[in-house]
Structure 1
Amino acid sequence: MPRLFTPAAIIFFCFIFLVGCQDKKETVDKVKEKEVVKVEEEEPASEETATEPEEIPFHIDVPDMPSNLEEVVSYPIGLFASKDTKVKDEAVQEALDAIPPLSETANEGELSNLLAYVYSLYKMDYDDPKVIIDSLSIATTPESEEISEEEQTETFNVEIILDASGSMKKVIGSKSMMEIAKEAIEEFASSLPEEANVGLRVYGHKGTGSNADKAMSCAANELVYPIQPYSDSGLKEALGKFNPAGWTPLAQSLLEAQQDLAKFKGENHRNIIYLVSDGVETCDGDPIAAAKSLKASEISPVVNIIGFDLGSKDEQQLMDVAEAAGGTYVNVRNHEQLKSQFNKASADAHKWMTWYQKEKSGIFKNADQQKTAIYSLSNAWKNNISKEKYLISFSLQSLYTKEKITKEQELAANKMAQEFYDHHYGLVEEMKNTLIDARDENLASSLKEIKDIYNQNVSPGKKE
Structure 2
Amino acid sequence: MIKRIFFIMCAILFILTGCSEKQSINKKREVASDKVSSNVEENESTNVNKQRENSDLDTIISISVPKTLDDLRKTPPGRLSKDIPYEKETSQIWGDFDISEYKEQTLQKLKELTAVTDDVDTIFKGLLYYLGSNSYSQSIERLTDYNGGLYEPYLPQPGDIKTTSEKKIKSSGKAIILLDASSSMLLNVDGKQKMNIAKTAVGRFASTVGQDNEISLYVYGHKGTQDDKDKILSCSSIEEVYPLQRYVAKRFSKSVEEIQAKGWTPLAEAIKTAKAKTASLSGAITLYIVSDGAETCGGNPVKEARSFANENNQRKVNIIGFDVDQKSENQLKEVAKAGNGEYISAKNTNELDNSIEKKWVPSIYDVMKKHNSLLKNWGRTWNNLTERSALADRILYASYNEKSRFTQAIALMRSNHLLSEEKLVQLGNLVNHYQQNIVKEKEKLEKIKSEEENKELNRIQNKVLEWEKEMEQLRKSQ
Same fold (TM over 0.5): no
Q: Greater helix share, 1 or 2?
A: 2
TM-score (norm 2): 0.40
Q: TM-score, normalised by structure 1?
A: 0.41
Larger Rg: 1
